[in-house]
């Protein structure tokens, strides 16, 4: 006899699983959630509670079973149902054409003249190939590629990947289906993971691929669950006979229906030219993707033609990898250079034996700071790995693997005893991990400060190069001199590279920058610890520069986001005579030192607190914040009883749920705009 309530429990469990599977799919595969985190969490907790009350109703495809509690003792070797092949490479349009010609020749010998080729071009994801086996719709096994014949069973870790269905989304699953695809770590996830590891004093991963490889081979699934992996499906493997498709593309569409993530930009192409053009498009998009690709895989679409073409060695004749130029390379670290930053901190950079990486020649690479250099344990004279991801500045990642073990390594590079820009003896302030040039007149430091200023003030046509030129000519020493360049129009015209139009444009851009708001000016003048957000917060808090300069540390601390240490640092810098002089000069020259719009306590939204969540139809988050603050309101990050309004857009998450819980008014974009205009106007409640 069943326990009381068991039947209801079973029904509710089934309903909850269906709901959770649906919402997990919306979130992880379609990237288009329908409910907020809090609602999802509530459903999940309910399922978890019912399952612990009825352990016999727990099934392996339940979403609660993604992360197993018990580590496996080791990775078991498993023979693949069908060999996992590799791909031949093409590095140019010519090599791609030659491949197509080879297929034509081969088929002609088989009696197939002039085959009408269609191709499918897919991103070649830089991760690890996996074989997923589904029996009657249930994921039973996930295996690494291994040597192509035999791989390792990593099912326990693949189950933690929310994008991999535990059960196929179909009421009529085939008895057997093998799905192949790539497990990878997205760039944002990789970056966040490395930041967490660095903060915890752990070693960082060299690239997303290594990081994914290390994660997928962990014995403890809880560890894998903490390091988010993703998945793209790209191929049908072995399947029972009812699975009949005539094209690869149709197979991919079906995989998408079954719940797998299939890249939406995969398309069918009818000619060589279209394939080449598509490969070039992927190459251009490469830096804009949030995962790494190292090429494009081009496959013959027709499955019968694929079968006729067959395999040579370990490579199918019917597919090829168009490889992009590599983005890592090994070269010798010729030296370490040091540059003072805008506050005097010496920043190291790597001087390299020139090397081709990612299609360009690299001679220098950033090393962030002294700590980064020490952590990477680089030594001058040794070989190092250089990474160039997308369009970002090249970085030195690590010593080449073979050098790190050597007993006779050169000594660790040390920061210089004198500033390379002004020869002042360097210092290491107590408690700081960075060596500093203490000379405030250091030309290197000034150049950085001025470059920061022109960037922050958005002065078109004035960048580091021009700053250096003008400094070299003795025209620029402080930011105030930028606004005195208008007196040098004739000199500007005489400069190489400056025609009449560009000189005029530059002066107009400088003039226009006088309109930048007070908060931006505070950020631009270079107060240590004051970024763009804090600059704006200080401007809002004090309203005028007089009020700010008169503020004590306690008053500074009342500014949102300013803690005691920061307040102290800001106070000291603002008290400095040179800083006061700069502020006085810039004020005299016409820059903004007062907050525009209503002072705090005035305006239609005065005294009201807002929280923004989700995507608004028209406004960006910044614009919405600006509307609120300029009408005298305040924007905060989290919903509490003190919140007056939550402005909710598309895909609003847990904040919306919290607002509803606390009974906080929820308005939409139109509601916000009406409120900002009239203050007490009727809010449009959602």
Is residue 297 part of the contact set for ligand IVH (CB under 6 A)?
Answer: yes
Which of 178/182 has CB closer to ligand IVH? 182
- Report residue 615: phi and psi, to 5°: -100, 120
CB of 86 to ligand IVH, least distance (A): 4
Q: Applying CB under 6 A, does 216 fall inside the site for ligand IVH?
A: no
Q: Which of residues 128-147 bind ligand IVH (CB under 6 A)?
A: 129, 145
- Rounded Cα–Cα distance for residues 143 and 183 (Å): 11
Which residues make beta-bridge pairs with 337? 349
The angle subtended at Cα 244 by Cα 243 and Cα 246, nearest 5°, is 145
Q: Is 86 in the site for ligand IVH (CB under 6 A)?
A: yes
Per CB under 6 A, which region of 269-277, 313-321, 522-530, 560-568 contacts ligand IVH?
313-321
Among 29, 276, 321, 357, binds ligand IVH (CB under 6 A): 321
User: Among the candidate windows 165-173, 315-323, 334-342, 633-641, which touches ligand IVH by CB under 6 A?
Assistant: 315-323
DSSP string computed for 601-651: T-STTTT-EEEEESB-SS--HHHHHHHHHHTT-EEESS--TT--EEEE-BT
Q: Say how many residues make up the chain.
A: 686
- What is the footprint of ligand IVH within residues 168-207 (CB under 6 A)? 182
Which pair of tokens denotes residue 241? 């006979």
* Nearer of residues 33 and 316 to ligand IVH, judged by Cβ: 316
Q: Give the Cα separation of 322 and 269 in Å (integer).
A: 15
Please state, in angstroms and rounded to a whole number, the distance separating the CA atoms of residues 549 and 525: 14
Binding segment toward ligand IVH, per CB under 6 A, in 80-88, 247-255, 479-487, 648-656: 80-88
* Calpha distance 661→130 (Å, rounded): 43
* Cα distances (angstroms) measured from residue 367 to each of 42, 377, 386, 395, 414: 45, 11, 11, 7, 13
Least distance between ligand IVH and beta carbon 190 (Å): 17
Told to check if 212 binds ligand IVH by CB under 6 A, we report no
Which CB atom, from 319 or from 627, has the smaller least distance to ligand IVH? 319
> Could you give the C-alpha distances from 521 to 368, 480, 585, 651, in angstroms and in order?
26, 12, 13, 35
- Position 87 contacts ligand IVH (CB under 6 A): yes
Nearer to ligand IVH, 129 or 556 (CB): 129
CB 235 to ligand IVH: min, Å:
5
CB of 215 to ligand IVH, least distance (A): 16
Which residues sit opposite 434 in a β-bridge? none
Residue-wise burial string across 462-483, b where 16 or more C-beta atoms lie within 10 A, e elsewhere: beeebbeebbeeebbebbbbbb
For ligand IVH, which is the closer residue by CB, 183 or 659? 183
| Nearer Cβ to ligand IVH (267/473) | 267
Return the range that interacts with ligand IVH (CB under 6 A); candidates 240-248, 314-322, 603-611, 643-651: 314-322
Q: Residue 193 corresponds to which tokens in the numbers above?
A: 């993971």
Binding span for ligand IVH by CB under 6 A among 41-49, 79-87, 238-246, 323-331 = 79-87
Query: Which single residue is written with the structure tokens 């034509």?
Result: 104
Helix (H/G/I), strand (E/B), else coil: 332: strand
Map the footprint of ligand IVH across residues 217-256, applying CB under 6 A. Answer: 234-235
24 binds ligand IVH (CB under 6 A): no
- Are residues 154 and 261 in contact, defined by beta-carbon separation less than 8 angstroms? no
Helices (H), 410-557: 443-456, 464-472, 479-482, 489-494, 500-512, 518-524, 532-542, 545-550, 553-557
Q: Shortest Cβ distance from residue 127 to ligand IVH (Å)? A: 7
Min. distance of Cβ 26 from ligand IVH in angstroms? 24
Q: Which stretch binds ligand IVH (CB under 6 A): 66-74, 85-93, 200-208, 472-480?
A: 85-93
300 sits near ligand IVH (criterion: CB under 6 A):
no
Known active-site residue 124: yes
If one asks whether residue 456 binds ligand IVH (CB under 6 A), the answer comes out as no
Of 16, 35, 50, 125, the one binding ligand IVH by CB under 6 A: 125
Which residue is closest to ligand IVH by CB? 129
Q: Tell me whether residue 144 or residue 331 sits nearer to ligand IVH (CB atom).
A: 144
Site map for ligand IVH, 399-438, x if CB under 6 A? ----------------------------------------
Q: Give the Cα separation of 60 and 73 in Å (integer).
A: 20
**What whole-number distance in Å separates Cα of residue 189 and Cα of residue 546?**
44
Inter-residue contact 675 to 681 (CB < 8 Å)? yes
From candidates 38, 57, 58, 85, binder to ligand IVH by CB under 6 A: 85
**If binding is defined by CB under 6 A, does position 124 make contact with ligand IVH?**
yes
Instruction: By CB under 6 A, name the one of 176, 179, 262, 319 that touches ligand IVH.
Output: 319
Catalytic entry in 48, 77, 124, 655: 124
Number of residues that bind ligand IVH (CB under 6 A): 15
* DSSP bridge pairs for 427: 436
- Token pair 């994008």 is at which residue? 163
Q: State the CB neighbour count (10 A cutoff) for residue 509.
A: 16
Q: Of residues 93-122, which lie at the interface with ligand IVH (CB under 6 A)?
A: 122
Nearest to 453 by CA among 481, 434, 474: 481
Q: Whose Cβ is closer to ligand IVH: residue 86's or residue 654's?
A: 86
Residues carrying an active site annotation: 124
Which residues contribute to the site for ligand IVH (CB under 6 A)? Answer: 85-87, 122, 124-125, 129, 145, 182, 234-235, 297, 316, 319, 321
């Amino acid at each position: 006899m069943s326990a009381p309530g068991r039947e209801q429990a079973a029904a509710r469990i089934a309903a909850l699983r269906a709901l959770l599977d649906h919402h997990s799919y919306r979130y992880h595969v379609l990237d288009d959630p329908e409910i907020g985190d809090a609602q999802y969490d509530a459903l999940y907790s309910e399922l978890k509670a019912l399952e612990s009350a009825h352990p016999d109703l727990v099934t392996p495809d339940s979403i609660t079973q993604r992360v197993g509690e018990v580590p496996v003792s080791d990775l078991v070797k498993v023979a693949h149902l069908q060999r996992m092949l590799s791909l031949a490479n093409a590095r140019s349009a010519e090599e791609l054409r030659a491949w197509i010609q080879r297929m034509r020749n081969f088929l002609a010998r088989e009696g197939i003249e002039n085959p009408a080729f269609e191709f499918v071009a897919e991103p070649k994801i830089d991760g690890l190939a996996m074989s997923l086996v589904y029996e009657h719709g249930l994921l039973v096994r996930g295996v690494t590629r291994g040597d192509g014949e035999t791989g390792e069973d990593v099912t326990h870790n693949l189950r933690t990947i929310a994008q991999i269905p535990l059960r196929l989304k179909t009421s009529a699953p085939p008895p057997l289906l093998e799905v192949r695809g790539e497990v990878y770590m997205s760039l944002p996830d990789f970056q966040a993971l490395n930041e967490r590891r660095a903060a915890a004093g752990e070693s960082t991963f060299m690239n997303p691929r290594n990081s994914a490889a290390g994660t997928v081979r962990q014995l403890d699934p809880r560890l894998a669950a903490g390091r988010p992996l993703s998945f793209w499906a790209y191929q049908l493997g072995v399947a029972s006979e009812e699975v009949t498709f005539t094209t690869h593309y149709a197979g991919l569409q079906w995989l998408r229906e079954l719940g797998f993530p299939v890249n939406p930009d995969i398309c069918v192409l009818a000619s060589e030219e279209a394939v080449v053009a598509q490969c070039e498009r992927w190459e251009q998009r490469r830096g804009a993707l949030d995962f790494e690709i190292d090429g494009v895989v081009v496959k013959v679409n027709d499955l019968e033609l694929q079968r006729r073409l067959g395999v040579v060695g370990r490579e199918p004749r019917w597919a090829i990898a168009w490889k992009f130029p590599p983005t890592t390379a090994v070269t010798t670290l010729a030296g370490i250079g040091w540059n003072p930053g805008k506050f005097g901190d010496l920043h190291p950079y790597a001087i390299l034996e020139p090397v081709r990486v990612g299609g360009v020649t690299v001679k220098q690479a950033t090393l962030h700071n002294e700590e980064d250099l020490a952590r990477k344990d680089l030594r001058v004279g040794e070989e190092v790995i250089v990474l160039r991801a997308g369009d970002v500045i090249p970085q030195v990642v690590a010593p080449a693997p073979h050098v790190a073990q050597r007993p006779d390594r050169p000594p660790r590079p040390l920061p210089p005893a004198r500033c390379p820009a002004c020869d002042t003896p360097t210092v290491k302030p107590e408690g700081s991990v960075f060596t500093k040039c203490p000379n405030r007149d250091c030309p290197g430091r000034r150049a950085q400060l001025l470059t920061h200023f022109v960037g922050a003030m958005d002065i078109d046509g004035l960048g580091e190069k021009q700053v250096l030129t003008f400094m070299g000519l003795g025209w620029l020493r402080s930011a105030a001199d930028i606004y005195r360049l208008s007196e040098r129009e004739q000199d500007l015209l005489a400069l190489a590279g400056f025609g009449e139009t560009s000189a005029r444009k530059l002066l107009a851009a400088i003039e226009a920058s006088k309109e930048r708001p007070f908060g931006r000016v505070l950020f631009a003048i270079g107060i240590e610890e004051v970024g763009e957000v804090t600059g704006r917060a200080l401007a809002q808090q004090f309203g005028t520069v007089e009020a700010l300069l008169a503020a004590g540390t306690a008053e500074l601390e009342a500014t949102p986001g300013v803690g005691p240490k920061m307040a102290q640092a800001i106070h000291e810098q603002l008290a400095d005579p040179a800083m006061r002089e700069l502020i006085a000069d810039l004020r005299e020259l016409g820059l903004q030192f007062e907050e525009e719009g209503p002072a705090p306590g005035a305006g239609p939204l005065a005294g009201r607190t807002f929280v923004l969540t989700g995507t608004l139809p028209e406004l960006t988050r910044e614009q919405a914040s600006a509307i609120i603050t300029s009408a005298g309101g305040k924007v905060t990050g989290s919903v509490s009883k003190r919140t007056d309004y939550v402005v909710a857009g598309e895909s609003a998450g847990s904040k919306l749920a919290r607002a509803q819980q606390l009974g906080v008014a929820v308005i939409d974009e139109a509601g916000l705009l009406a409120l900002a205009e009239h203050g007490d106007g009727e809010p449009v409640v959602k």
